[in-house]
Amino acid sequence: MPLLFSVLFLFLMPGYGVTLQDTQQQTQRIALTFVDNDFVPTAQQLAIADDLNIRLFEISDPAMADRLPDQNYRFLIQAGPQFSVPGLLDETLGSVSTEISLRIQDFQRRAGDRIAAVSLFRYPFETYNGFQQAAAAIADSLGRKYSTPFYYQSAFPDADLLPGGYNFTSKRVAPDLPLQSAFPVMHMVPSGNEYDTYTLLNRIIEDLQTVDESITILPARWFFEQIEQRSDLRYLFRDFTDGNNITLPLPQQPEPPPFMNWSVILLLLIWGSFALHFRYQPIYSQSMTRYFSNHSFFVSDVMENRLRNVLPGFILLIQHALLTGLFLFACVEVIVSSLGLEVIRHYFQPFMLLESTLLSLFLSAILVAVILQLISVIWIYVTNKKLTSFSQILNLYSWPLHLNLIVVTFLVVFNRVGFDEIWTLILGAVFILIWFFSFNIAAIDSSKFLEDGRTLFLSGTLGIHIILVIGLFVYLFFTPSILEPILFAIELP
């Protein structure tokens, strides 16, 4: 690594007549990134960057090279895909390599020989089995065509991995992530809290005193905004790039914004709907008690069509659909980071109904629950000719779903008090099992209406349902495009 940086820094220095002694005078560099934003610097801002000895830029749009025409500028180019997972990468190695190669050629036409290094991936699932082999294969394929150093942007600061063919990784650091130590190459993601952001920057600057050579990549838009707002930073950053030890002044710690726990609010609303239902539907309170305390008597009431009102059943299905949305919302809110939400939005775009990923998942879960519940009750009703009223299957299917209200309540409470994430997974499994058995129990109960053909009915409902559910889980387990993005989103810090 030290030899690599010696060569890389020599290449990055403006001019070709520079001696090695000159390159050793500056070992801590700042680079500005224009990746994934439409920010275009003004001539005045570029003059400020030049005064601070900032001539290294990270870009993802080849056209940006035309907007940075100075021949002394050097580029770290983002040419590869983002959020790659090994399973899909294995299946598309050839096409991915071709697409990256075409992008590199496009950059070369715009930037010429000013390319310092090429990023082949942005935040890949590098800790999952198979990534290193797939990444090394792509680097080997491209290495035959291009002599430029390869790197990738890593979202796992603690991962000490470097596949064959790669010269370094650019580690992601952010105020909400624990930082064990600074890295030779890292890109900082500022937060809305400037106090936390500058605290992190000071920690990075302090740790870099023990690093011989480093590149700290900062967002260009954020950097120039800070320089304009606080002119003293200009001199401090100049001292830093000159190799001096500095401490950035911390802005005032802002007041914490009011916290709105939507999981708790949604849970209270759902509990309120149950309370209203219990209060204004007398038959509902009697039936709920009877279902769990004297189940056979409840089934007899349904068989004799004593519970004819369809409204309680429909209300319960709507409430359970809301519970399903809240269940997914609460789980994702706790176990998935902000970057993990970007992975979910990237891979599950059809479910993204709103700009907010969490709210999109909430609404999508409600819609999926409504569809599955309707399919379930219609399935049993159509296949059992002895069911004379739709209210019968509604009552048989919907009552056990009450248990999921308790499960989701525990989930929200556990998340609120900070229990271990394993409880989220356990309660999630219980939620799915209750929903799974609600159909099976309803099928078994409704089979008691039949005098003959009971085995055939159970095979066409209970048997097929079990096969479908098992098949679905097997399909999900062996489908990288679904399983790996979910695991990736959960594992991202």
246 within a domain of the structure (yes/no): no
**Domain co-membership, 267 together with 233:** no
Confirm whether 182 is domain-assigned: yes
283's CB contacts (< 8 A; 6+ apart) are 307, 309, 312
Residue that terminates a domain, selected from 241, 274, 309 = 241
Task: Looking at the structure, tell me whether residues 327 and 382 fall in a common domain.
Answer: yes
Number of independent structural domains in the chain: 2
> What local confidence, expressed as pLDDT, does residue 98 receive?
93
Q: Which amino acid is at 36?
A: D
Boundary (domain end) residue, out of 209, 241, 273: 241
Which pLDDT score, from 0 to 100, does residue 224 have?
93
| 438: nearest Cα among 270, 277, 286, 313 | 313
Closest CA to 486 of 324, 336, 333: 336
Q: Is residue 251 part of a domain?
A: no
Instruction: Give the pLDDT confidence of 241-295 residue by residue, as tens digits.
Output: 888 888 888 888 777 766 667 888 888 888 888 888 777 777 776 777 777 777 7
The contacts of residue 179 (CB under 8 Å, 6+ apart) are 157, 173, 200, 203, 204, 207
For residues 22 and 132, state if they share a domain.
yes
The more confident residue out of 13 and 425 is 425
At residue 17, does pLDDT exceed 50? no
Residue 248 domain-assigned?
Answer: no
Give the global pTM. Answer: 0.86
pLDDT of residue 259: 65
Q: Which amino acid is at 213?
A: E
| Rounded Cα gap, residues 262 and 248, in angstroms | 37
Q: Domain check: are 269 and 226 in the same one? A: no
Contact 31, 58 (CB under 8 A): yes
Same domain? 466 vs 357: yes
Does residue 400 share a domain with residue 278? Answer: yes
DSSP 201-233: HHHHHHHGGG-SSEEEEEEHHHHHHHHHH-THH
The 3 state secondary structure assigned to 31-54 is EEECCCCCCCCCHHHHHHHHHCCC
Average pLDDT of the chain is: 85
Report residue 373 CA to chain centroid gap.
28
Of 190, 211, 241, the one marking the end of a domain is 241
pLDDT reported for residue 3? 41
pLDDT recorded at residue 323? 93
Same domain? 80 vs 128: yes
| CATH code of residue 112 | 3.20.20
Which residue range forms the structural domain that includes residue 10?
2-241
Same domain (yes/no): 269, 364? yes
What would the pLDDT profile of 323-380 be if each residue is shown by its tens digit? 999 999 988 988 899 999 999 999 999 999 888 999 999 999 999 999 999 999 999 9
Q: Residue 413 pLDDT > 90, yes or no?
A: no
Domain co-membership, 59 together with 163: yes
Q: What is the pLDDT of residues 43-70, one digit of tens each?
A: 999 999 998 889 999 999 999 998 998 8
Is residue 274 in a domain?
yes
> Do 159 and 45 lie in a common domain?
yes
pLDDT at 33 over 90: yes
**DSSP SS3 for 30:** strand
74: β partners: 56
pLDDT at 208: 85
